[in-house]
Structure 1
Amino acid sequence: MASSPIWASRPRTRGLVLDVIRAARSISRVELAAATGLTGATISAVVRELMDDGLVVEAGRGGPTGGKPRTMVQLNPLARYGVGVQIERNTCVIVVVDLAGRQVARTSFQGVATMPPRQALPLVASQVDALLDTAAVRRDRVLGVGLVSYGPQDRRAGVLLTPQPTREWLDYPVARLLAEALGLPVLLENDAAAAAIGEYWMGAVEPNSTYGCIYMATGIGGGVVVAGEVYRGSSSNSVEIGHISMDLDGDECPCGNVGCLENYAGPSAMVRQALATPGLARRLALDPAAADVLTEFARIAAAADAGDAAARGIVERSARYLGGAAVTMACLFDVDTIVLAGPSFTVASSIYQTLIQREVDRRMFARRAHPVRIVPSVNGSDAAAIGGAVLVLQSELTLGQPRPDDGARSTPLGAAGLHRGSYQDGRAGAAAVPTGSLT
């Protein structure tokens, strides 16, 4: 089967134009030329191609400019879709988003942490298939799956470099085998980096800004985006803010470091502190044996919001530590915004936002040069899953990566580490049947 026509010519130029249209929501060809520096003739040709491919549609006339009203163009949100799969230690969240980044379907389930990957990945694949069917999304319009999880990772090989939740997950080829099960490309990504890029795609930050993201679920991670591109570092394991040392004489962390932020400010640490606080565990009905850390933490956060002094003290202590981490991020990367994303921030957002902002305002090195805003994620508790889907859209549509024939097996594409599934039937609209199996 021939490659999709959207990659027939000028992929980088097409990607640039498409990204400007996405960011503007609605824009004229004249404005596109001014924003990209391309000639009017090039803009007209590229927009025509994008319209022929169904990615862009005309959207009426613009406001008066003193001459003939300009015809506006915008993305066709239903033209393409991305799937985001977030595997956390206690839960799995799956979302489907359209080309505009809007969530059109969602599901979640628990139990992944108790399964070996050879059992967990087929379950994930079946849930993705069911969600696409429920949302009535055609498979030929799905660009791929962003599989997001905690680090460290080898994105090129598509494997996790951590024995969590169990040792069986270490070095297991999660991306390749999920791709084979689904017959769709799969991109492995860090959850914090995914959450960070989701803010860009949704228009929550300025297109050319440098901003950071602190992501907190059961653990703590970080990401930095510069002009729409995730800062990767040498191995795409950058900005692991949860594993900076807060105490050189602190306890050893499973990561190998000592005194890590996560062990002082993360949900697991707060649950331990609450269990050790006289009377608090009983008042909040905390379960010392509970495996679901996020549910136990949510009880602490709810009590803090309701005015329980002991619970609030624990959350505020965590927020001050995270404020120090935010100062470190601001000093290292000179960001102008830090987004707080993830389910743990969602349940106690007001306390964290207020105290982290206070620490940054007081302690940041460049505070006289510019302020740093601390803001909540526009994508809420599903920020990482939505960001995973968005990274697939960005990788396929705006970064100009060619798409191989649907029937061809391929190795990962460059640093992005896209793993391709195989189809027995590559016809448009046909159900995808994997040729491989999960073993």
Structure 2
Amino acid sequence: MATSPIWASRSKTRGLVLDLIRSARTISRIELAEATGLTGATISEVVRELMGNGLVVEAGRGMSTGGKPRTLVRLNPVARYSVGVQLERNTCVIVVVDLAGRPVTRTAVPGVASMPPQRALPLVAAQVDALLATAGVDRDKVLGVGLVSYGPQDRRAGVQLTPQPTDEWLDHPIAQRLAGHLGLPVLLDNDAAAAAIGEYWMGAVDSRSTYGCIYMASGIGGGVVVAGEIYRGSSSNSVEIGHISIAADGDECTCGNVGCLENYAGPSAVVQQARALPGLAGRLALDPADADLLTGFAQIAAAANSGDPDARSLIERSARYLGSAAVTMAGLFDVDAIVLAGPSFAVAGPIYRAVVQREVDRRTFARRAHGVRVALSVNGSDAAAIGGAVLVLQSELILGRG
């Protein structure tokens, strides 16, 4: 297992400097001092230690501004790695990323979450081991594993607080058990929160901004990032945008609420609506008994892109509901941007982005003060898994939490 650099003293300063180097790609010591307000001597000492730990390397010289050209520094991407594991209801995505957050390799294993955890977690661990070996990644450089899934969760205890997809997963110590199989630390977190922080690490949003993420896989979740840190709330079960009530007299949701957004706009709802249209269901050969909702949803999304009027109507209806959720998110958190992430946006993402942007432009409370940009995730379908790996990098190196 990799050991983090020793952050016993001035951990916040070192994390701040490392994060500035990461976000700038290349930067000089003088620019670091100007950006942080720290003295040149302090910056030189911190950079020297980061270089000693192999996290930072020199990157040549910048353009001259009249004097001696400044020496630039940058991250050393191969200095550390982390693993992201996304447990979805029908599949498990595993990625390995380098220190810059760039994916090195990935794999997907179907059906893992439908197994009891006693069977599923050893299988996940074996896949992680095989992926690291195939990629030739030195395990001594692996900081840990970010295990992300839907909520609610007890993040500190590393357990799911939901009996989904089966009762055996409720209160099972999944983080602890997976860590035992791998011999690596495992951090449990929410998939939507992970997807949100992945955008920050990859430089897709301004590092000083407040932005939101709407994440859609088989369900709908949300996350908000403020100046590079996830808004956690009191128990890290915040911004569950899929479970805001949009119909006071709606059906009861498995979460205990009624009229939840997810039950009107999520992939399950769209597939059920499509199955109720004989013409569309016949054209797409939708199987009423098929439990793989993401595949059925992708078929409907592809048909919408191809001009099928019934499919297009269903996708746009879902998008309008999500637009209302985006307006709610903007009203609550006054965000600069909203990112749409997750596998369900992989096919029909442009339709969703256009509709959600229109709703936000038209209805957001602070629209006269500032605009809200709606964008598709730079991390595509693997946004949550990549974000899980990034959470490990951030926790270990930037925040110094270990």
- What does residue 210 of structure 2 align with? 210
- What does residue 87 of structure 2 align with? 87
Question: Which amino acid in 1 is paired with 2:293?
Answer: V
- What does residue 264 of structure 2 align with? 264
Residue ranges of structure 1 left out of the alignment (5+ in a row): 404-439
Question: Which amino acid in 2 is paired with 1:258?
Answer: V
- What does residue 287 of structure 2 align with? 287
- What does residue 24 of structure 2 align with? 24
Measured in 2, the distance between the counterparts of 1:215 and 1:281 equals 26
SS in 1 for 2:208: coil
SS in 2 for 1:348: helix
Question: Which amino acid in 2 is paired with 1:324?
Answer: S
Measured in 2, the distance between the counterparts of 1:293 and 1:83 equals 27
Deviations, residues 384-427 of structure 1 (Å, cap 9, x unaligned)? 000000000000000022x5xxxxxxxxxxxxxxxxxxxxxxxx
- What does residue 75 of structure 1 align with? 75
Contact 1:379/1:386, CA 8 A, preserved across alignment: yes
Contact 2:162/2:169, CA 8 A, preserved across alignment: yes
SS in 1 for 2:367: coil
SS in 1 for 2:225: strand
Q: Which region of structure 1 is more displaced relative to structure 2, 4-13 or 343-352?
A: 4-13
Contact 2:92/2:113, CA 8 A, preserved across alignment: no
Measured in 1, the distance between the counterparts of 2:391 and 2:397 equals 10
- What does residue 105 of structure 1 align with? 105
Measured in 2, the distance between the counterparts of 1:390 and 1:247 equals 36
Measured in 2, the distance between the counterparts of 1:3 and 1:212 equals 32
- What does residue 192 of structure 1 align with? 192
Measured in 2, the distance between the counterparts of 1:371 and 1:3 equals 43
Contact 2:331/2:366, CA 8 A, preserved across alignment: yes
- % of aligned pairs identical? 79
SS in 1 for 2:59: strand
Deviations, residues 317-355 of structure 1 (Å, cap 9, x unaligned)? 000000000000000000010000000011101110000
- What does residue 299 of structure 1 align with? 299
Q: What pairs with 1:287-436 in structure 2 (closer than 5 Å)? A: 287-401=287-401, 403=402
- What does residue 15 of structure 1 align with? 15
Deviation at 1:6, TM superposition (A): 3.8
Deviations, residues 44-64 of structure 1 (Å, cap 9, x unaligned)? 000001111100000000012
Deviations, residues 175-209 of structure 1 (Å, cap 9, x unaligned)? 00101110001000000000000000000000100
SS in 1 for 2:34: helix
Question: Which amino acid in 2 is paired with 1:359?
Answer: E
Contact 1:75/1:99, CA 8 A, preserved across alignment: yes
- What does residue 138 of structure 2 align with? 138
Deviation at 1:19, TM superposition (A): 0.3
Measured in 1, the distance between the counterparts of 2:338 and 2:31 equals 30
Deviation at 1:3, TM superposition (A): 6.2
Question: Which amino acid in 2 is paired with 1:121?
Answer: L
Contact 1:6/1:50, CA 8 A, preserved across alignment: no
Shift in alpha-carbon separation, 1:70–1:89, aligned structure 2, 3 A = same
Shift in alpha-carbon separation, 1:312–1:4, aligned structure 2, 3 A = closer
Deviation at 1:2, TM superposition (A): 11
Deviations, residues 22-78 of structure 1 (Å, cap 9, x unaligned)? 000000000000111111000000000111110000000001211110000000000
SS in 2 for 1:332: helix
Contact 2:2/2:140, CA 8 A, preserved across alignment: no
Shift in alpha-carbon separation, 1:4–1:168, aligned structure 2, 3 A = closer
Contact 1:6/1:53, CA 8 A, preserved across alignment: no
Measured in 1, the distance between the counterparts of 2:179 and 2:36 equals 35
| Coordinate RMSD, CA, aligned | 1.2
Deviations, residues 115-155 of structure 1 (Å, cap 9, x unaligned)? 10000000000000000000100001000000000000000
Measured in 2, the distance between the counterparts of 1:114 and 1:392 equals 26
Question: Which amino acid in 1 is paired with 2:242?
Answer: G
Deviation at 1:10, TM superposition (A): 2.4
Q: Which has the higher contact order (CA 8 A, sep 6+)?
A: 1
If the length of structure 2 is used for normalisation, what is the TM-score?
0.99
SS in 2 for 1:130: helix
SS in 1 for 2:278: coil
Alignment: residue pair count:
402
Measured in 2, the distance between the counterparts of 1:2 and 1:338 equals 35
Deviation at 1:7, TM superposition (A): 3.2
Contact 2:4/2:143, CA 8 A, preserved across alignment: no
Measured in 1, the distance between the counterparts of 2:32 and 2:349 equals 38
Measured in 2, the distance between the counterparts of 1:20 and 1:139 equals 26
Shift in alpha-carbon separation, 1:5–1:195, aligned structure 2, 3 A = closer
- What does residue 64 of structure 1 align with? 64
- What does residue 421 of structure 1 align with? none
SS in 2 for 1:289: coil
Question: Which amino acid in 1 is paired with 2:208?
Answer: N
Deviation at 1:112, TM superposition (A): 1.2
Contact 1:217/1:267, CA 8 A, preserved across alignment: yes
Deviation at 1:8, TM superposition (A): 5.4
Contact 2:96/2:132, CA 8 A, preserved across alignment: yes
SS in 2 for 1:7: coil
Question: Which amino acid in 2 is paired with 1:260?
Answer: C
- What does residue 54 of structure 2 align with? 54
SS in 2 for 1:378: coil
Measured in 2, the distance between the counterparts of 1:213 and 1:344 equals 14
- What does residue 233 of structure 1 align with? 233
Measured in 1, the distance between the counterparts of 2:124 and 2:4 equals 27
- What does residue 414 of structure 1 align with? none
Moved over 4 A (4+): 1-5
